[in-house]
Chains A and B, each alone.
Chain A
Amino acid sequence: MDRTNGAPTSGARKAGVARPSSPGRRAFLRTGAGVAGAAAAGAVLGNGGPAAAVAAEADPAHLPPNVPWWTQYLGDGVAARPYGLPSPYEAHVVRRNVEWLTATTESSVNFTPIQDLHGFVTPNGVCFERHHGGTTEVNPAEFRLMINGLVDTPKILTMEDIFRFPVESRFYFLECAANTGMEWRGAQLNGVQYTHGMIHCVQYTGVPLRVILDQVGVKPNGKWLMCEGGDSSGMHRSVPLEKALDDAMLAFAMNGEMLRPENGYPLRLVLPGWEGNMWVKWIRRIEVGDKPWHTREETSKYTDLLADGTARFFTWEMDAKSVITGPCPEKPVLHKGVNQIKGLAWSGRGRIKEVHVSTDGGRNWMQARLPDPVLNKCLTCFNAEFEWNGEEVLLQSRAVDETGYVQPTMQALQEVRGVNSIYHNNSIQTWLVNKTGEVENVRLG
């Protein structure tokens, strides 16, 4: 055994040299699965970038009975990583965007890599971003929240003021109303990151909005709030007072640290269960009024066009929805025999009650397991098992929430709404596992 073989110099180690990158699933499929022929491997590669690269070839010098270099030599000291980052082997777990969707990246969206995440909490660095004027950088010392309109005392609050109010910490999902919006007319994007990745779920910490409103005294005729961002689009939405007094909060932290700039640092609105567009980031002002404002984002956008040419407006709640995040196009089935199905379910109207899983395109369903916790307006993990014998399988999941709402089929949604709604597509997703173990986004009929 050559004990020095494979040990990089310290410089090389720092640069990550000699550590296998992620050459993709081709090698993995070829060597790991034993079910994928060359043709299948080629097809999977063609399916594109978000490769579920798990491991590349292992160097025998690093395997038993040999002792690898990391077992012999010192690693980084505690001063080397003052803010830790994921392992370089996880470099594929990143947000991705779809260039052709928008004219610019400043007014655009990217997608959470839900196929590579575990549990229901989204790490802060991969929470999807939706901006209308780019990421806004605000110095907290220069942050001001103005509250005016139909109030007894218009006020200005600083972050220091905000920190002195009572706080709460709660887990909530945030889903863009346009999540899955590219799939109305058919299966279009071949990856769960793109079809369902406009969602994140974090523990938000902040001040209940009703506590803040108590400080200004909402006048009796005050029924609506206009919440306005301090970004270069001045993103603003009308919010009914009832929601503000119910479970809305002004959050300054996510998953235990201050908000990331991409997600509204230093203060954002949190409206549990409601469409993400309304969760105003970098919030600078709340105006109280007696009627809604009908802003651009609640008229021209975020209204749901129906087949007859009329459009629904103020479609705030996110309907119950679920999706299988493995297997999925980025996560092929690699082994015959027992396989685990995992996925996420959520509802803007409360808790998830049941998730059903089908392996035959919705003809027959089984109950999925729902490991604790099942929280209100929060992502809920589900899982189930299936035996794969190498035949084609049509995987689906279907969520039911505590109100009894059942996640519908696309056909059922299209019968009511047509195909031009863009927003609020919560239909059942189908993944086809083909005979090579590749997984495709398909539409059934």
Chain B
Amino acid sequence: MSVLARTLTRGVAAGALVLGLGVSAAVAADLEPGKQYDLGRAATAEEIAGWDIDLRPDGADAPIGQGTPIEGEDIYLTQCASCHGEFGEGMDRYPVLFGGEDTLASHDPVKTPGSYWPYASTLFDYIHRAMPFGQAQTLTADQTYALTAFLLYINFVIDEDDFVLSNENIGEIEMPNRDGFIPDDRPDGQPEMVCMSDCDVGTEVIGRAAIIDVTPDDDGPAVSID
């Protein structure tokens, strides 16, 4: 039997089966698991080196370099302070970079590298790939280690302003809030049963967005959230 004939026969058989069951379903092939398509090409070591800029919390893959808080302060004042403020206090709505200790359980938590960030590697990685805002990937590894060291210094994570932060020791920095995170334990907030009638819920209006009055196109005060 030719391939065409076999295909036709199979199609008829499948169609008859489907009709017999009284349902309609498409007859289709599945993807072939593991199939090699011989597309693309091998990436060279040089190409990978240019783009593979990440590092991990334990310091794995950290770009080679070093810097101190003192060196970082100079870079900070010229490259960062216009948005983050001379002291890291944050201008306008740009992020605050220091302080916030003991605020996480309060009404107004202040999440900074010192109060919140669990890993020093994240500071280096983010500065290196995304800062200064609008001029990404212009800082050298040494400059980035210096800036990271400066931020760790103003957050009292490291005590010496001549501490040499490098690819060798960034994985050893212990951040204050390292143990402040728990894995996702949802689902949560579930009712014991799904109530459909005469449910015991409060139906008094206790808050109104129209009174808070921050919806755009209002003339109301600009109250911010974070």
Co-complex (A, B):
yes
In the complex, whether A77 has a CB less than 8 A from a CB of chain B is no
In the complex, whether B21 has a CB less than 8 A from a CB of chain A is no
- A406-423: contact bitstring with B at CB < 8 Å (1 yes, 0 no)? 101101110111001010
With A364-B196, A408-B191: A294-B121 Cβ-Cβ less than 8 Å: yes
- Docked pose: A103 CA to B224 CA in angstroms: 11
In the complex, whether A314 has a CB less than 8 A from a CB of chain B is yes
Contacts of B39 on A, CB cut-off 8 Å?
A: 157, 161, 164-165, 215
Q: A188–B212 contact, CB under 8 A?
A: yes
Chain A residues 401 to 445 lying within 8 A of chain B, measured CB to CB, are 405-406, 408-409, 411-413, 415-417, 420, 422, 424, 427, 432, 440-445
The residue of chain B having its C-beta at the shortest distance from the C-beta of A412 within the complex is B189
In the complex, whether A391 has a CB less than 8 A from a CB of chain B is no
Chain B residues 193 to 226 lying within 8 A of chain A, measured CB to CB, are 194-199, 201-210, 212, 214-218, 222-226
Chain B residues 116 to 149 lying within 8 A of chain A, measured CB to CB, are 116-119, 121-122, 125-126, 129-130, 133-134, 136-137
Contacts of B41 on A, CB cut-off 8 Å?
A: 155-156
In the complex, whether A351 has a CB less than 8 A from a CB of chain B is no
For the side of the interface on B, what is the size category?
A: 35 or more
In the complex, whether B31 has a CB less than 8 A from a CB of chain A is yes
Q: A408–B190 contact, CB under 8 A?
A: yes
- A98-127: contact bitstring with B at CB < 8 Å (1 yes, 0 no)? 111111101100000000000000000000
With A154-B48, A155-B40: A232-B134 Cβ-Cβ less than 8 Å: yes
In the complex, whether A400 has a CB less than 8 A from a CB of chain B is yes
Least CB distance from A267 to B in Å reads 13
Q: A305–B43 contact, CB under 8 A?
A: no
The residue of chain A having its C-beta at the shortest distance from the C-beta of B53 within the complex is A234
In the complex, whether A261 has a CB less than 8 A from a CB of chain B is no
Contacts of B116 on A, CB cut-off 8 Å?
A: 299-300, 311
Contacts of A132 on B, CB cut-off 8 Å?
A: 130
Q: A133–B130 contact, CB under 8 A?
A: yes
Least CB distance from A417 to B in Å reads 7
- B33-55: contact bitstring with A at CB < 8 Å (1 yes, 0 no)? 11111011111000110011110
Contacts of B134 on A, CB cut-off 8 Å?
A: 106, 133, 232
Partner of B181, one of A43, A188, A310, A364: A310
Least CB distance from A314 to B in Å reads 6
With A311-B182, A420-B109, A442-B208: A406-B203 Cβ-Cβ less than 8 Å: no
The residue of chain A having its C-beta at the shortest distance from the C-beta of B104 within the complex is A309
Q: A406–B190 contact, CB under 8 A?
A: yes
Q: B40–A233 contact, CB under 8 A?
A: no
Contacts of B197 on A, CB cut-off 8 Å?
A: 363-365
Q: B35–A214 contact, CB under 8 A?
A: yes
Partner of A190, one of B125, B210, B224: B210
Contacts of A287 on B, CB cut-off 8 Å?
A: 52, 54
Least CB distance from B125 to A in Å reads 7
Q: B34–A99 contact, CB under 8 A?
A: no
- Docked pose: A7 CA to B188 CA in angstroms: 61
Interface residues of B, dominant DSSP = loop
The residue of chain A having its C-beta at the shortest distance from the C-beta of B194 within the complex is A406
In the complex, whether B20 has a CB less than 8 A from a CB of chain A is no
- A173-217: contact bitstring with B at CB < 8 Å (1 yes, 0 no)? 000000001100011111100100000000000001001001100
Contacts of B185 on A, CB cut-off 8 Å?
A: 312
Partner of A300, one of B40, B54, B122, B210: B122
- Docked pose: A133 CA to B134 CA in angstroms: 7
Q: Report the stretch among A9-17, A46-54, A81-89 that lies at the interface.
A: A46-54
Q: A363–B201 contact, CB under 8 A?
A: yes
Most central of B51, B191, B194, B224 by chain A CB within 10 Å: B51
In the complex, whether B6 has a CB less than 8 A from a CB of chain A is no
Contacts of A228 on B, CB cut-off 8 Å?
A: 54
Contacts of B118 on A, CB cut-off 8 Å?
A: 294, 299
Q: Can you give 20 contacting A-B residue pairs, CB < 8 Å?
A: A133-B136, A146-B47, A148-B52, A155-B42, A164-B37, A181-B225, A188-B212, A190-B209, A236-B54, A293-B54, A294-B119, A300-B111, A309-B104, A311-B116, A312-B181, A319-B187, A362-B199, A394-B203, A444-B204, A445-B202
The 8 closest A-B pairs by CB, nearest first: A49-B217, A309-B105, A361-B203, A443-B207, A234-B129, A309-B104, A408-B189, A445-B206
Binding site for A on B (CB under 8 A): 31, 33-37, 39-43, 47-48, 51-54, 56-58, 83, 92-94, 104-105, 109, 111, 113, 116-119, 121-122, 125-126, 129-130, 133-134, 136-137, 180-191, 194-199, 201-210, 212, 214-218, 222-226
